Amino acid sequence: MITEEKLKEFKETLNNGVLYNAMDDELIAYQHSLVQKLNEFNRTDDTPEGLAEREEMLKDIMGTYGEGLYIIPPVYANWGLKNVHVGKNVFFNFGCTFVDDADITIGDNTLFGPNVSVNTAEHPLSPELRRNGLQYNKPVHIGTNVWIGAGAVILAGVTIGDNSIIGAGSVVTKDIPENCVALGVPARVDRHITADDDLYYDGRKEIPETIRNTYFPKKQ
């Protein structure tokens, strides 16, 4: 079992981009214990009792989270979500993967489609260093009210700005600014989100007046 002192030493390393031995026996054993808890979470039933059980489990396994977090299992994380920190009303669809060696921070009201992958780990180019298990990490920051489409991949060190959308299947290798739609491999800004998007959806379909009046009330 890893000591508190050694775990603290590792945690000081995880977010600062320095090389460390990711295959340390004690560290790997500790990660296995975290993953085992997540495996138990994934085996819970979709019943009122199972949902209540998940809520209790999250208090133990997840780094930090706000009210309204909803996760559809299975979810995968090599640190068992211990380094994932989310705000309020966040949704993870099934099959999401978090390589959470470093911190992953996610803002309020953010949506993840199925099979999204968020990665913080990097490996050196040197074959010798990789062969010996050396690794370094870069935290990922995802803003508030972001929508990440199915199968998107977010790479280490990336920041995604508030209100932005990442298209399905995109690979995000660099920072994405707020209020825009980014698509492709690698993901690039396709267009900005504007006031017109409060009037139209799905191309140029008009948002019904009843919905506009509910969510975009006219200023007095």
Q: Say if CB 74 and CB 54 are below 8 A apart.
A: no
DSSP secondary structure letter of residue 15: T
DSSP secondary structure letter of residue 148: E
> Omega into 74 within 30° of 0, i.e. cis?
yes
13's enclosing H/E stretch is helix 4-14
40: alpha, beta or left, given left = phi > 0 and alpha = psi -120 to 50?
alpha
Does the annotation mark 123 as catalytic? yes
Whole-angstrom CA distances from 24 to 30, 120, 136, 157 are: 10, 18, 14, 23
Options 32, 85, 123, 141, the catalytic residue = 123
13: alpha, beta or left, given left = phi > 0 and alpha = psi -120 to 50?
alpha
Point out the residues that are catalytic: 123
